[in-house]
Chain A
Amino acid sequence: MITVLVYLLGFRYLFTAGTKSDGGSRLATQKKHLGKSEKKHSHPLSAKPKSEKQAKGGHPNGNGHTNGNGLHTSPVSAKMGQPLASKKFKLDSGTLIRIHDWMIQARVLEERLIRMYKQSQGYFWLGGPGEESFQIPLGMQIKKGRGPDYDFMHFHYRASGPMLVMGMDPKDAMRQMANVATDPFSGGRNFVAHFSRRDWNVVPVTSTIETQYLTAIGSGIAQKRHGGDGITVVTGGDAGTAEGDFASCLIWSSRPKQELPMLIIVTNNQFGISTQACTQHGEKNVADRGKAFGIRSSTINGLDVEDSWFSIKESMDYIRKERKPVLLEAKVSRLYGHSSATGANFVQNEEDPLSTFETQLERASILSRSEMDQIRERHNAEMLEMAKAVREEPMPDPQSIYDFTYFGQKGKYF
């Protein structure tokens, strides 16, 4: 009963960004009557049990660890982690519960997509597990709609979280994974996580690293001219910032008296496929580069839900009002490697923001272990059924290869 209520409220209050809500209070109150469980959720695609440190809610990252690729990892996320026992939330419990629900959905979806890949129901996987603590708060604060009055999203390929929050049917991500004709983003033409929704201002995700930082300039210019409070949001990883396109974005967005209303986001997982950032980048933080252009810049702990939430909120409030850019670097994890190209296996030694958040919620008596397990199990079951259904959907018609080379065109154009 409570689980269903949480589920419904998750949708009902999807775009409520306040720190208080009746729904949240009710949930918090009702939750107190539930029994608490210390049961820990295990990662369904993980070959090994969780470490003792993780099981206790600690941060597994630290000096000398290796990631799933056998490479040394930086201790940054461990340093940025907060003492879980002392966590005092600023957001109301209703918002926290919604965030948690979306984080679980995003994780379960990605794990389902990985399973689909491993079961040969798709050719390739990549996505954003390990970034949910940042991506969900981002998605919840997007002003969704079509045209310059609303936010434009130039996402990279780890954005299933915000897409879910914005209203994406998880089944649609599975359709793209299975490259079936019903894939609404590309009709079976593109990789999974290459989302596109014109009615939501989500421009097509591209495989070309960093070009989204260039196209974002254009919608930023259009929105600057248009006025209002719509902004341009662009996301990408840390490795891609080595491309000149990132510098282009900083330059174009900060031209004197022509600053653009852009939220320039870098999710820093400290890897470019298998290459460690510390072996290629001399700058301490990517966000430091923004300071040279007079861009308001900061580096945050993207593994912390509230740090993410309030950093995004503050940034968006500033951009919507001042019509100037913000560079926001969020340190995140990469829990299943870069993509299926590196195995798509769970990485044991990076902080799992969902696990961290769940421990925090449990210790704050906002959700019990058993409630959280029920939520996950429900989403797991629903998405399993979705994947089964997608398996039965038709592949694209080979005759369709010429369609939409030009706008509105079907069949061979020339």
Chain B
Amino acid sequence: MANMAQAIRMALHFGEKNLGLKEVFGEDVGPPLGGVFTATQGVECAWNSPLDERGIIGAAMGLAMAGSRCVAEIQFCDYIYNTIDLLKLAGNQCWASNGDWNLPMTVMTPVGSGIRGSLYHSHSFDATATHIPGWKIVMPSTPLDAYGLMLSCLKDENPTMFLKPKALLRVKGLEPIPGEPDLTTEGQKELSQMIDKPVVGDTREWKPKWPKLTDFSIPIGVGKTVTTGEHVTVVSYGRTLPICEQAAKNLLADGISVEVIDLRTLWPYDWALISESIRKTKRAIFVNEETEVTNFGEHLLRRTVEEHFYELEARPRLVAGAFVPGVGLADPLEMASVPQLGHIETAIREVVAERA
């Protein structure tokens, strides 16, 4: 019953012990904090960097060039935007050198809303990230997927970006991470005592007691059907994925059968899975919380129209964040800015009710 922050932590620990991970760094990533979401707490090779996002990405690139595998964190994706040219460089160094250089490095950053983070702790990054060639982009929605995707990132020979849906970092998983204690309340407590740094007392000498973790990779580029249905395909990832699952459960009472796909990898994404599902349901909705204009879901919509136009029985839809400059702090403002359960259920009802 690890949560996603613990799962990432365990993956990084497994990486430093087994996969050659040598550096985990970023702002407040090392002791004493171990990351503002504690996702790097207790990791031996974690260290604090200057407050300098461009330095962090540049350092990661140079480490990769020197053969030192690293995970670099940008504390919130809201602050990654001043590194765009570096992200482009990281993505093009293999291509620019005609295959001579590769940069095995991982950048991880928390994304999205859900913590009442206001203008600069609520951004999404999937539209921009998927617009930069040369990267592989993953975004888990469960702790087990976070563990497995991080291990895959650490094994990849290319730049990988691990987007952490911050609203889900404390959500407990329902699937066991290989090696973690039992999926019980007691097991959860035991894990916490092992790897969570106490919040009170003198913790200067604290060290985690890691469970006996084993290798478990979620292949990059492979999505997952989390709910099987017949009437409509809903494709999502990250924070909105469990909301889509909830919508599917709720609508089942009204006789609406929803197939929910967790994309898990945004690039390269599992088009075969999406395509097969759309062929079955003949309806499609894409859900994410990024602002709606030039949204990654728009790309999926375009491909759906181009490849499945004559099979569709309703117009495909995009349910995404409002195209406004930021997510407002007040509860009603955030709720109105990014997709909520009501928005998704309404969209599903409309698409299912529509007749071509």
Q: Are A147 and B67 in contact (CB under 8 A)?
A: yes
Q: Does B100 contact A (CB under 8 A)?
A: yes
Binds A, one of B58-66, B194-202, B243-251, B317-325: B58-66
User: Which residues between 82 and 112 of chain B lie within 8 Å of chain A, taking CB atoms?
Assistant: 85-86, 89, 93-102
Within 8 Å CB of A204, what residues of B?
A: 93, 96-97, 100-101
Q: Are B65 and A215 in contact (CB under 8 A)?
A: yes
Q: Are B98 and A219 in contact (CB under 8 A)?
A: no
Q: Are A217 and B59 in contact (CB under 8 A)?
A: yes
Partner of B62 from A189, A190, A221 at Cβ < 8 Å? A221
Q: Using an 8 Å CB-CB cutoff, how does the interface string of A155-189 with B read, 1 for contact, 0 for none?
A: 00000000000000000000000000001111101
Q: Are A248 and B52 in contact (CB under 8 A)?
A: yes
Q: Are A211 and B85 in contact (CB under 8 A)?
A: yes
Q: Are A198 and B101 in contact (CB under 8 A)?
A: yes
Within 8 Å CB of B54, what residues of A?
A: 214, 244-245, 248
Within 8 Å CB of B38, what residues of A?
A: none
Report the separation of the CA atoms of residues A136 and B269 in the bound assembly, to the nearest whole angstrom: 48
Report the separation of the CA atoms of residues A406 and B85 in the bound assembly, to the nearest whole angstrom: 18
Q: Are A407 and B102 in contact (CB under 8 A)?
A: yes
Q: Are A152 and B99 in contact (CB under 8 A)?
A: no
Q: Does A203 contact B (CB under 8 A)?
A: yes
Say yes or no: A406-B158 contact (C-beta < 8 A), given A152-B65, A218-B63. yes
Q: Using an 8 Å CB-CB cutoff, how does the interface string of A138-159 with B read, 1 for contact, 0 for none?
A: 0000000001100010100000
Tell me the nearest residue of chain A to B72, going by C-beta. Answer: A218
Q: A257 to chain B: closest CB distance in Å?
A: 12
Interface residues on A, range: 35 or more
Report the separation of the CA atoms of residues A404 and B133 in the bound assembly, to the nearest whole angstrom: 11
User: Which residues between 19 and 69 of chain B lie within 8 Å of chain A, taking CB atoms?
Assistant: 22-23, 49-50, 52, 54-55, 57-68
Q: How many residues of B contact A (CB 8 A)?
A: 40
Within 8 Å CB of A223, what residues of B?
A: 66
Report the separation of the CA atoms of residues A139 and B97 in the bound assembly, to the nearest whole angstrom: 21
Within 8 Å CB of B59, what residues of A?
A: 214-215, 217-218, 221, 252
Within 8 Å CB of B60, what residues of A?
A: 218
Q: Does B297 contact A (CB under 8 A)?
A: no
Q: Are A252 and B96 in contact (CB under 8 A)?
A: no
Report the separation of the CA atoms of residues A290 and B294 in the bound assembly, to the nearest whole angstrom: 44
User: Which residues between 189 and 210 of chain A lie within 8 Å of chain B, taking CB atoms?
Assistant: 189-190, 194, 196-198, 203-204, 206, 208
Within 8 Å CB of A187, what residues of B?
A: 98-99
Q: Does B187 contact A (CB under 8 A)?
A: no
Q: Are A248 and B65 in contact (CB under 8 A)?
A: no
Report the separation of the CA atoms of residues A229 and B57 in the bound assembly, to the nearest whole angstrom: 25
Q: Does A220 contact B (CB under 8 A)?
A: yes
Within 8 Å CB of B96, what residues of A?
A: 186, 189-190, 194, 196, 204, 206
Q: Does B134 contact A (CB under 8 A)?
A: yes
Q: Does B157 contact A (CB under 8 A)?
A: yes
Central interface residue in B58, B60, B85, B133, by most chain A CB within 10 Å: B58
Report the separation of the CA atoms of residues A222 and B20 in the bound assembly, to the nearest whole angstrom: 13
Q: Does A14 contact B (CB under 8 A)?
A: no
Report the separation of the CA atoms of residues A192 and B56 in the bound assembly, to the nearest whole angstrom: 29
Report the separation of the CA atoms of residues A46 and B98 in the bound assembly, to the nearest whole angstrom: 35
Q: Does B268 contact A (CB under 8 A)?
A: yes
Q: Does A26 contact B (CB under 8 A)?
A: no
Within 8 Å CB of A197, what residues of B?
A: 100
Within 8 Å CB of B52, what residues of A?
A: 248, 251-252
Within 8 Å CB of A251, what residues of B?
A: 50, 52, 55
Say yes or no: A222-B58 contact (C-beta < 8 A), given A211-B85, A407-B94. no
Partner of A214 from B58, B98, B136 at Cβ < 8 Å? B58
Partner of A215 from B58, B70, B98, B99 at Cβ < 8 Å? B58
Q: Are B66 and A148 in contact (CB under 8 A)?
A: yes
Within 8 Å CB of A216, what residues of B?
A: 58, 62
Q: Using an 8 Å CB-CB cutoff, how does the interface string of B134-163 with A read, 1 for contact, 0 for none?
A: 101000000000000000000001100000
Q: Using an 8 Å CB-CB cutoff, how does the interface string of B158-197 with A read, 1 for contact, 0 for none?
A: 1000000000000000000000000000000000000000
Within 8 Å CB of A152, what residues of B?
A: 62, 65-66
Partner of A217 from B62, B98, B268 at Cβ < 8 Å? B62
Report the separation of the CA atoms of residues A213 and B62 in the bound assembly, to the nearest whole angstrom: 10
Within 8 Å CB of A252, what residues of B?
A: 49-50, 52, 55, 59
User: Which residues between 387 and 414 of chain A lie within 8 Å of chain B, taking CB atoms?
Assistant: 403-408, 413-414
Say yes or no: A407-B97 contact (C-beta < 8 A), given A218-B64, A255-B50, A414-B268. no
Report the separation of the CA atoms of residues A215 and B83 in the bound assembly, to the nearest whole angstrom: 12
Report the separation of the CA atoms of residues A202 and B136 in the bound assembly, to the nearest whole angstrom: 25
7 CB < 8 A contacts A-B: A187-B98, A194-B96, A204-B93, A216-B58, A217-B58, A218-B63, A245-B55
With A186-B96, A405-B133 known, 10 other A-B pairs at CB within 8 A are A185-B98, A190-B96, A196-B96, A214-B54, A215-B58, A215-B89, A218-B59, A218-B62, A225-B68, A405-B134
Residues of B within 8 A of A (CB): 22-23, 49-50, 52, 54-55, 57-68, 70, 85-86, 89, 93-102, 133-134, 136, 157-158, 267-268
Residues of A within 8 A of B (CB): 147-148, 152, 154, 183-187, 189-190, 194, 196-198, 203-204, 206, 208, 211, 213-223, 225, 232, 244-245, 248, 251-252, 255, 403-408, 413-414
